[in-house]
Amino acid sequence: MQLLGRRDESKPIGLMTSELAEISLVASPSELRAMVVFLNSVADEMKRMGTTYDHVHLSDRHETFEESPRFVVFRSATQEAS
């Protein structure tokens, strides 16, 4: 697993993606539950699609996250079978 990130595009400096050592997620219980449902459905979709799966944005699946920072899940190049 990798954690990648970049600064807010509206701010100058650092638009390149960087590998992160840590993230902090500030969220409500309902937001966390919605993210769990999203991640479970993405895992199922990723397994079903295999190498044709590319990525999905949380905000595309849950409109309540449209104004949130972008949360994107990509398929790992070394995707396991489980």
The C-alpha angle 64, 67, 70, rounded to 5 degrees, equals: 100
Which value, to the nearest 10 degrees, does the dihedral of the CA atoms of residues 30, 47, 45, 34 take? 0
The string of pLDDT tens digits covering residues 31-52 is 999 999 999 999 999 999 999 9
pTM: 0.76
Per-residue pLDDT at 41: 96
